[in-house]
Chains A and B, each alone.
Chain A
């Protein structure tokens, strides 16, 4: 009967490692505009902290639920794994048409973190994959905020061709999008590999199908984002200001640190 105790914990975890429709709360939070200067959790840094912290809470709840469910509650975590896989695919599919930066990153966050459930059902320790997937989104989060500050909105298709007008920013942006869609050497890539390697031991289909399809759709969505912002013919009626060397170094350093974290993640996995 441990599953009765575990169920509410898993449901609570479904807000942190988002499961549809509980995931709507996280996505609303990401899209929320600050009510004023004192609305700290609606500021980009506050939101980033929450987005990084939520998976940790989710992992704790999942592990507590696992412990309470015991051996007889395996079916329950399998149901949640299936739910997680479907949520990930749903959001990856929706990501294809997202043009607004905040909606885009909220949907990718949901799609990525929902995959942790797939691993959790198959005895993959969820902490490192959850952290890896969440951390991979941070550089893009801040760069999209940078776009909002410059142009008033972070939206694909409104100001294409930034590679010709803001080459430094574009380089960072490309690297951040690649990290977000789990391209090597981002922690996201190793997190996906970790989930795949661990999950394949229990059930290849339930693990590999959602992982692979979601990953494929992320790539498509990532290219859509690059196409509408970095590539194309730049507009002549806008003022462009590229990032300075210091910002470039800070962001570049952050990306390098992420790559290092990815390597640590993979060494922990092997």
Chain B
């Protein structure tokens, strides 16, 4: 039976590479018909991934398969098989969409060959059983993406932003190379399961310079994940790469950008042995979430807004890992992948419709956004504020108490609940703000949807916990690695809740008095607006630094006479 899984896993990886070769070889004969090969291979990959996932569910545990080389071993465990299903499913959707979207494109064949290759590379990466194969996949992913983004070889903008992408991805490759080198030196193995066993057996190793090895490894893995998952300040490649074809954007935002979350989960046994690393993940994830969400609000281009939305979501995913909720991050990346792929693939038709009819359809949003004549609900703002603050709080805590009471003992879980509360309350505040003719009906539906979302999140989150990390002691250890002292935590939590509640009360009051905060603090508002509209000058800073480095290089070469 083990050989059955080995054949499935190698077949899964090889199918897309073979398809890429077949597409190239038969381009002259089939023309645009090569897409049939590509879509067929993609469908086959999904079937194989589902079979492998099913097999793994039936047998439990994890297996390592090899072909007699030190390289190209595959590790079949719940995480890798689940990711394989996600990658191949998104791959199939993108393939099917591309068949017509890319029609009449002069580089149709090259596009499909590259698309097949990148899916093969991602599958190799998620199934890698040794660190060198993982590094190969990690490295090649950026290279393949560069060529896909550069699909229109004439466009300077596409070329420029594809370069940004490759360069940032390369920045993320280096820490992973360093981590693999440290593992090889510290534990004498490159095999992933052997590494986990070695870490569990002797977690207190040090590097040649005397640093705690696991702490150093954790940091390096984190930095590698930050670059691939567009964490601040390595985020600029993500929202700017809209010059590539829409299917590539969908693949990138629904699949490739999740690589960071996958990497952090793959190395969860390393993070268990760290002390402060996950706090860094939390901090960076939080900053990225806020930055991404703020900058998303500033965009008028739908695809760029979606790009920043992805950045915010990736920040949230990294933050979940930083809080010890590793399996929740995987659930999040799958859910995000599905909805973001849908949004990207749908954005093309929305742009098309808007070009035909640029008017905003009349409705409550129109009245709110354009006419600005909507009355607030016939209820005191104090009562509505009370509903806004308490109802989501009751829902998020109630849902978690219903499913798993012990969950609330984890600091990370409480922080996640806090975010759930903020999200729910923000939605309810918006109901108050847009008003309308039937505010209570809208309020009822919003509360109902919010409760459904939270319940699903909790139930599926627990199912993912049981699937990916079946050992409760390991799950506890992950939450412990992400914890701070309970007094500090309690103080910060209470302070945050008071501040947030006070903030909402203030916003409600100013809204009710028709004196919104932006009008009161006009100068501050405009300064912030300018800063956000320039995206905190991060991209400008990188461009300027790049230009200066090139100028310095030219000067140095001239000085040394180019020899």
Contact = CB atoms under 8 A, between A and B. Distances in A.
Interface of A: 24, 27-28, 31, 90, 93-98, 100, 103, 106, 161, 163-164, 174, 178, 183-185, 189, 192-193, 196-197, 199-205, 207-208, 211-212, 215-216, 219-220, 223, 227, 230-233, 263, 266-267, 270
Contacts of B208: 200-204
Contacts of A201: 185, 208
Interface stretch (B84-92, B169-177, B267-275, B481-489): B169-177
A200 B562 contact: no
A163 B190 CA distance: 39
Interface string B41-85: 000000000000000000000000000011100000000000000
A197 B179 CA distance: 10
Given A31-B563, A184-B136, A184-B139, A212 B178 contact: yes
Contacts of B136: 184-185, 189
Contacts of B181: 193, 196-197, 199-200, 204, 207-208
Interface in B163-214: 163, 166-167, 170-171, 174, 177-178, 180-182, 184-185, 190, 207-209
Interface string B332-347: 0000000000000000
B70 A227 contact: no
Nearest to A163: B153
Interface string B117-152: 000000000000000100110011001001100100
A163 B159 CA distance: 13
Given A97-B557, A219-B170, A232-B159, 6 more contacts: A184-B139, A197-B184, A200-B178, A200-B181, A202-B208, A216-B171
B258 to A, nearest CB: 21
B548 to A, nearest CB: 11
A202 B185 CA distance: 9
B243 to A, nearest CB: 12
Given A204-B178, A219-B167, A263-B71, A183 B209 contact: no
A267 B178 CA distance: 20
B154 interface: yes
Contacts of B544: none
B166 A94 contact: no
Chain A, interface SS category = helix
Identify the interface centre among A24, A200, A203, A232: most chain B CB within 10 Å of its CB.
Answer: A200
Given A183-B139, A196-B181, A200-B208, A161 B174 contact: no
B174 to A, nearest CB: 4
26 contacts: A27-B562, A93-B549, A93-B552, A94-B553, A96-B553, A98-B557, A98-B562, A164-B154, A183-B139, A183-B140, A192-B177, A197-B180, A197-B181, A201-B185, A201-B208, A203-B209, A204-B181, A208-B177, A215-B177, A216-B171, A223-B166, A227-B159, A231-B159, A232-B154, A266-B132, A270-B132
B496 interface: no
Contact of A161 (B154, B180, B190): B154
A123 B560 CA distance: 33
Closest 4 CB pairs of A and B: A270-B70, A200-B181, A97-B553, A27-B563
B302 interface: no
B556 interface: yes
A96 B551 CA distance: 9
A227 B136 CA distance: 24
Nearest to B69: A267
Nearest to A200: B181
B377 to A, nearest CB: 56
B519 interface: no
A208 B143 contact: no
Interface in B497-553: 549-550, 552-553
Contacts of A270: 70-71, 132, 190
Contacts of B171: 216
A104 to B, nearest CB: 10
B178 A208 contact: yes
Contacts of B373: none
A31 B135 CA distance: 35
B163 A223 contact: yes
B163 A227 contact: yes
A216 B170 contact: yes
Given A183-B140, A204-B207, A204-B208, A266 B153 contact: no
Contacts of B36: none
Contacts of A203: 208-209
A33 to B, nearest CB: 14
Contacts of A106: 563
A267 B153 contact: no
Contacts of A263: 69, 71
A266 B163 contact: no
A184 B140 contact: yes
A230 B150 CA distance: 11
A106 B561 CA distance: 13
Contacts of B554: 97
